[in-house]
Amino acid sequence: MNIKLTKFIFVMTVYVPIQLLIISNSSAQTTSKSSPRPSLKPLEPSLSSNSSAIIPEVTAYTLAPGDVIKVTVFDLPDQGGEFIIFTDGTVTVPLIGTFNVKGKTIQQVNELFVKEYARFLKRPIVTVSLLAQRPLRLAIAGEVNAPGNYTLNPDLGDRKRPKITDLLEKAGGLTVSANVRDIQLKRSDNNGERIYTVNFWQLLQQGDLSQDLDLRDGDVVIVPKKETIDAVEYRQLADASFGIKYAQPPSVTVIGEVNRPGAYTVPIETGPPRLTIALQQSGGIREMANIREVVVNRTTRDGEEQNIKINLWEMLEAGDVNTDIILRNGDTIIVPRAEELDPTEAQKIASANFSPNEIIVNVIGSVRQPGALKITPNSSLNSAILASGGFDERRADSTMVQLVRVNPNGTVVKRNISINLSIGVNEETNPILKNNDVIIVNRNGITAFTDSVETILGPIGRTFSVLNLFNVFDNN
């Protein structure tokens, strides 16, 4: 027995400390894995004035003057009824009296009336419900078409309260400078004024309805301006029910390298008023227009000026239609002058919808219908000759013409061009024409000589014709 007892004591002496050490190490490892970084908790919004939060907490509706409540007392149909809350915030109920309910919730009023009816009834069963809400007095400022004060009727069918989108639509929709990612909602409560920030881009992209907050009486919505213009957002906001809207066509001014600088009203019947439409109205761009550095000057609601740089060449080269931005009332479009222009680019620009619909060239000399021609941009020399009726076969020198071009810098260039009506467009023999080009078709040799002789003999008399002159020489 002594041997067994000795073995037991030895085992317990060695085994227990080892198990305690293992448990201790395991506990220490568990603690070390979970304790180095405590989990981060979202910051609670401050209750001080001008605090900011993303979404306000949902609280019960509070009564105010103009609300209508319905009071029902079980088994006493002659008690209760429908009652309006007066301008001083009080409501008068038969039997129990007059009470100030301004700022109280329906539940609080229900508890108050149960307590008051208990003075006359044993265990009264009272139900208080909101029958009709008061109109909400709201304000909206910033990048909307019609900022100001509005009154919204809360009778919206299934929805009991108007939302921010309802107020945006009432204010005529957003302007093109609106920043929908940081719309602010100012709200005053018992803790002071709070400012909440909502992201309507998240509502538009992800259908996050929590961003479209219910409005309360006295709320103020502020739509800030966007510092940088995002044309992709333009296109999506233009299709949204609360998005970019136009009460009337915007008036803009177009200056610089366009054919008819001036003020224009951009139509909105067929779609949003875009930059290229305004350029079309101004007669299209001139030959030396720098379409890579078009500038739109814009004044926002707060009076700040924005300079938006547009590269229309990207639209022609890569099909980036987002470059064709939407205009707003009061915009000034500036088309600068290019120092030089690549001829290959000039042909592509001439075909653009913001280039002139037609150009004017003059074809003079020995053609069947000489004079000014209206032709489409990118028309060639050969096409202009054919449009003028073609060469006068009896008089024209159909092998060579002269092209006279007045450059934008005022210089004049005169070129002799060999003609081949069957050849395609090329700079040497069949160049693309520009506005106000002059094509001179000279007379052939025989016609030139005949005309000269007639000019010399003209004073002698019309009866002595060139034919008679040749006969005189023959007789001798």
Instruction: Report yes or no on whether pTM surpasses 0.75.
Output: no
pLDDT in tens, 175-226: 888 899 999 999 987 778 889 999 998 888 888 888 999 898 899 999 998 8
Residue at token pair 């409560």: 189
Predicted confidence (pLDDT) at residue 238 exceeds the cutoff of 80: no
**Pick from 135-149, 238-252, 355-369: least confident:** 238-252
pLDDT reported for residue 155: 66
| Beta strand pairing call for 262-265 and 251-256 | antiparallel
pLDDT in tens, 382-423: 989 999 999 988 888 888 899 998 776 677 888 899 988 888
Tokens representing 200 are 């309507």
Q: Residue 236 and residue 445: Cα distance in Å, rounded?
A: 67
Name the residue with higher pLDDT: 30 or 256.
256
Beta-bridged to residue 326, according to DSSP, are 274
Tokens representing 385 are 């000759």
Q: Residue 117 and residue 96: Cα distance in Å, rounded?
A: 6
Name the residue with higher pLDDT: 221 or 444.
221
Query: How many angstroms separate the Cα of 464 from the Cα of each of 447, 450, 460, 469, 476?
Result: 18, 13, 7, 7, 17
Predicted confidence (pLDDT) at residue 472 exceeds the cutoff of 70: no
Residues 6+ apart with CB under 8 A from 374: 358, 359, 360
pLDDT reported for residue 22: 40
**Pick from 26-35, 39-48, 69-78: least confident:** 39-48
Average pLDDT over residues 11-35: 41
**Phi (first) and psi of residue 112, to 5 degrees:** -65, -45
Average pLDDT over residues 310-317: 86
Nearest of 278, 392, 415, 280 to residue 333 by alpha carbon: 278
Split at pLDDT 50, 70, 90, the class of 121 is confident
pLDDT reported for residue 449: 54
Beta-bridged to residue 141, according to DSSP, are 222
How much of the chain exceeds pLDDT 90, in percent? Answer: 30
Residues 6+ apart with CB under 8 A from 128: 69, 70, 71, 72, 106, 109, 110, 113
Residue at token pair 């222009």: 341
Torsion angle of the four alpha carbons 85, 89, 94, 97, in this order, in degrees rounded to the nearest 10: 180
Query: How many angstroms separate the Cα of 242 from the Cα of each of 6, 162, 201?
Result: 89, 13, 11
pLDDT reported for residue 408: 65
Average pLDDT over residues 85-90: 93
Predicted confidence (pLDDT) at residue 31 exceeds the cutoff of 50: no
**Interior/surface letters 48-60, b for 16+ CB within 10 angstroms, e for the rest:** eeeeeeeebeeee
Nearest of 279, 383, 368 to residue 325 by alpha carbon: 279
The runs of H, that is alpha helices, within 282-380 are 312-318, 343-350
Average pLDDT over residues 298-321: 84
pLDDT in tens, 145-174: 899 999 988 765 555 678 999 999 999 888
Nearest of 294, 276, 433 to residue 355 by alpha carbon: 276
Split at pLDDT 50, 70, 90, the class of 305 is confident
- Let me know: does 279 contact 295? Beta carbons within 8 Å: no
Q: Looking at this protein, which amino acid is placed at residue 354?
A: F
pLDDT in tens, 330-382: 999 999 988 876 766 776 777 777 888 788 899 998 888 999 988 887 788 89
Name the residue with higher pLDDT: 44 or 371.
371
Across the chain, mean pLDDT equals 79
Calculate the CA 418 to chain-centre distance. Answer: 51
pLDDT reported for residue 268: 87
pLDDT in tens, 276-299: 999 999 989 887 889 999 999 998
Average pLDDT over residues 244-257: 89
Average pLDDT over residues 230-254: 81
pLDDT reported for residue 326: 86
Q: Residue 288 and residue 408: Cα distance in Å, rounded?
A: 7
Residues 6+ apart with CB under 8 A from 431: 380, 381, 403, 417, 425
Q: Residue 385 and residue 440: Cα distance in Å, rounded?
A: 10
Name the residue with higher pLDDT: 12 or 340.
340
Nearest of 214, 197, 195, 213 to residue 48 by alpha carbon: 195
Handedness of CA 31, 36, 40, 41 (dihedral sign): positive
Tokens representing 230 are 């995002």
Question: Using DSSP, how many helices (H) and how many strands (E) does the chain show?
Answer: 11, 21
Q: Looking at this protein, which amino acid is placed at residue 348?
A: K
DSSP, res 292: G
Nearest of 212, 210, 206 to residue 242 by alpha carbon: 212
